[in-house]
Amino acid sequence: MPQLKATYPLYLNNKPVQPNTDLAVTDKYTGEVAFRTALATPDVIEEAIAGAVRAAEPMARLASYEKQGVLMHCVARFKERFDELAYALCVEAGKPIKDAEGEVTRLIDTFRIAAEESVRNYGEVQPLDISARAKGYMGMWKRVPIGPCSFISPFNFPLNLAAHKIAPAIAVGCPFVMKPASKTPLGAIIMGEVLAECDVLPEGAFSILPASRDGADMFTQDERLKLLSFTGSPGVGWDLKAKAGKKKVVLELGGNAAVIIDKDADLADALERVIFGAFYQSGQSCIGVQRILIHDQVYDAFKAMLVAKAKTLVAGDPKDRDTFIGPMISDGEAKRLKGWIDEAVEAGATLLCGGGLSRGNMLEATLLESVPDDAKAKNEEAFGPLAILQRFTHFDAALDEVNNSKFGLQAGIFTRDLFQMFDAWDRLEVGGVVINDVPSYRVDNMPYGGVKDSGLGREGVRFAMEDMSEIRNLVVRRT
């Protein structure tokens, strides 16, 4: 396997800087320190923001082919460093190696999509002569970069969720400062290392700055930054929005996603997808399957299939290619979710399988049924290997139950009924409806994001590019 370095720098105004080695990052399976990185102090963050401001004009003037060249350079280098990137994910995030390889593939896809979109930043010619007073007038509009951007990315997809901020910013021509999650900073640092190879980027085009939560205030509140894009927990996200001032804010937050298994579903197919959606990377996904709504006619059969399959999932060292369930990100997070499971059982829920905690952060794949309506396991975001089973009789009632949540990110439905598919698309209060697959499914060029407490705005390269742009009109009077 590839070897990680003992220390890594931060990236300040396109350059590696090693002011300290204050951030110790652990191997999430062994608990041992795997490497150390520099931690950005307030003076470093200030210098990075000032650099992004200076870089705004030269970034905006980059030709489309130059931005595309940067992005295609990243695609090529990420392919060359594929094994290193996957191994880094496996260590710092505790992500099973097969899942880690899948995320590197998505990183490459996201930069490739951005490279394609970088030369498609279209505007429009618009007729203005809609009445007599506008006779002889015509209009045009184009998109221009919004300016310096601030990005804060989470621990669970350290590569791809950072890529969904970085790649569109380069495609549009926006300089940025990024704070990666302190538990998993290495993926973003490697991206900085690759970007630093691109001489066409003006100084200040990017800074990758691991920082403490206190230091993150500067990423949020500084008025020189024109957009804040945050992916993380709802509590933190809405608090940051309240502090963000006049800047545009994009939030990709949490969920407790539901999947409906209707009576006409292909149960064998649904089984494989639901098991994946509930337990891949130990359930640490904001669109992970948490609520499984099963039609009464197939409930008992599908429950038996789910429990039997969940019990076969291999848990252990994420570096082992047979491992499906790896560690959660920390002992504290595993203990929290274990507490929610125990509370639900004490309140009357039935434990169908799992529930055990070992090694501090290895929580078993867990299925519950008859969970009380007020239980945290049902209402809050589990963000771990837990799913709950619920029975329904009428499809309309199942749709109502999906909507019975403060979250609204994505929902999945296994059905062959075309009319029910369109009813779900019309009625479900979510950002995306996925038919015959789990809500955990995402392709990196699609619009992605939620409603209600799940966030504001949309990711997906083209849609993020729109958020990072503003429209500039041109009105011409033709006399």
Q: Which residues are catalytic, by number?
A: 252, 286
Contact 276, 337 (CB under 8 A): no
Q: Indicate the angle between helix axes 160-172 and 97-117, nearest 10 degrees.
A: 10
**Nearest CA-CA partner of 162 in 270, 262, 53, 74:** 74
Contact 104, 89 (CB under 8 A): yes
Contact call for residues 8 and 189 (beta carbons, < 8 A): yes
Q: Which amino acid is at 342?
A: D
Residue whose token pair is 């970085």: 166
- Numbers of helices and strands, H then E, in the chain: 15, 25
Token digits of residue 181: 């999650």
CA distances to 94, 253, 386 from 378, in Å: 26, 17, 10
3-state SS string for 295-363: ECCCHHHHHHHHHHHHHHCCECCCCCCCCCECCCCCHHHHHHHHHHHHHHHHCCCEEEECCCEECCCEE
